Each structure stands twice: as C-alpha cells, then as structure tokens.
A and B are shown apart, each in its own frame.
Chain A
C-alpha cells in the first residue's frame, strides 16, 4: 500500500481551498538506471476529488508531473466539517484513497 496523502482543506466562506500532497515515485520512463536499462514508467494517471458524492476535480496526469505530486485548487459549496475523498490510480493499477475533513 502506498503511503498516505497529506490533504489540507480550508473553508473561507463557502470557498474551499484544497491542497493535496501525494506520495508517489512518478517515474517518467525516460530515465536509465546505473546499468543503462530504461526504468519503466510508473506514474499516477488519474486523480479524483469528491465532496458529498460530487466530483469537484478530476485530473489526468502524464509522467511529466513531478515526484510526490502536489495539487492545489478551490471549489465553492463546501463548508467546515464536510468530508473530502481523494483517490488516485497509477498506470500499474495501484490505487489509494484518503479522506480529509474541511476545516
């Protein structure tokens, strides 16, 4: 199981500022190891953020997103105490879901 995400969501009025730090290698598939072999790509492909059963952001990522990816966005309609669910899936089918409470 990959390491948990760090999710911080803060509400100002009904606008929620969401910051997510994921733990992932994000191997681009261009790099060679010390023996000269190409390191196979391993990266997060999709990230979805759900709030109250509604998707508030869906991201498609390529291997050009940095290692331990960071994501920040804002959405309206959330309030303190609501739960956010963040899920990512990588190209090997590994997935991780973490929840956070807006504060």
Chain B
C-alpha cells in the first residue's frame, strides 16, 4: 500500500486546486482524501487491479467469501470476507464485471480480525474476488454471484 500511496501523492496537485477553490472543508478531510488509493479504484481489468495493488495473488482456500449465490437486487449485495491467513494486513473486494473492479479495500491493523462485511453494488452476474495481503504476498479467492436485477445505472 505504501508504494501506491507514494505514486498517488504525485497526483495530488488536483486536490490542491480543489482545496484552493474551497471545495474541501477541512485539512483532515484533505489528508484522508489523499490517502484514498485513486489508481486502484480506476482499474477496469483484473490484471490492472493486481498491478496497482502490488502483486499477483495466489489462489487460497483460507479466504472465505460470504455472499449470496443469487442476489435479487444488485444494488445491495452483502459481501463478507474472512481470512484465515496469518498476518493479514489488507482485504480488497473486487467485482469482475463492474465498470471499475475495485469495490472496497480495508486495511487491517494488528488486533483487528480479518473479517469484514459490507454491502456492494453489482451491475450484473459476476465473480466476486477477495484479495488478501499478508506480508509481501497476496492471496485471492472468488465466488460467483448471480444478479437478477442490476445495481448500476437504470
């Protein structure tokens, strides 16, 4: 994550302009926005996403994805990721067929269990990938979720 952050810091001139224009309310907000990994959220393919995250993950059976087999409403798909890999530092949720693959990333400090649940939008039936970062290594697991009503556009 730290290398990505460094790359991203080069792009922050735009945010500087926004701040000058008074669009950003507090310096704290600015700092948090800069920490947001813009590049990772703009990728459109699995390979690109892996590149931005920092490595190609290996398949792992130690990551469990909790998601419905069939989601009736693509606008609200509950997805939970549990990692049994020791020293899990970050969890990313990717949706293969969304306009931008990356849905959410969570950094897991020591003491926090690598078990997060949230709700995401899915445009259509797709594989959902859970990528886990542990040390310098990346692991991935996937699950197909069938969507009967898309959650993007309309």
Contact = CB atoms under 8 A, between A and B. Distances in A.
Contacts of B78: 70
B112 A57 contact: yes
Residue among B32, B109, B116 with the highest chain A CB neighbour number at 10 A? B32
B57 interface: no
Interface in B48-72: none
Interface string A69-87: 1111111110000000001
Interface in A26-40: 26, 28, 30-32
B25 A62 contact: no
A73 B75 contact: no
A28 B121 contact: yes
A73 B113 contact: yes
A56 interface: yes
A58 B107 contact: yes
Interface residues of A, number: 39
A46 B24 contact: no
B45 interface: no
A65 B23 contact: no
A61 B118 CA distance: 10
Contacts of A48: 32
B121 A60 contact: no
Nearest to B100: A62
Interface string B80-102: 10000000000000010011101
Contact of B32 (A30, A45, A73, A76): A45
Interface of B: 18, 23-26, 28-30, 32-33, 35-37, 40-41, 75-78, 80, 95, 98-100, 102-109, 111-113, 115-122, 151-154
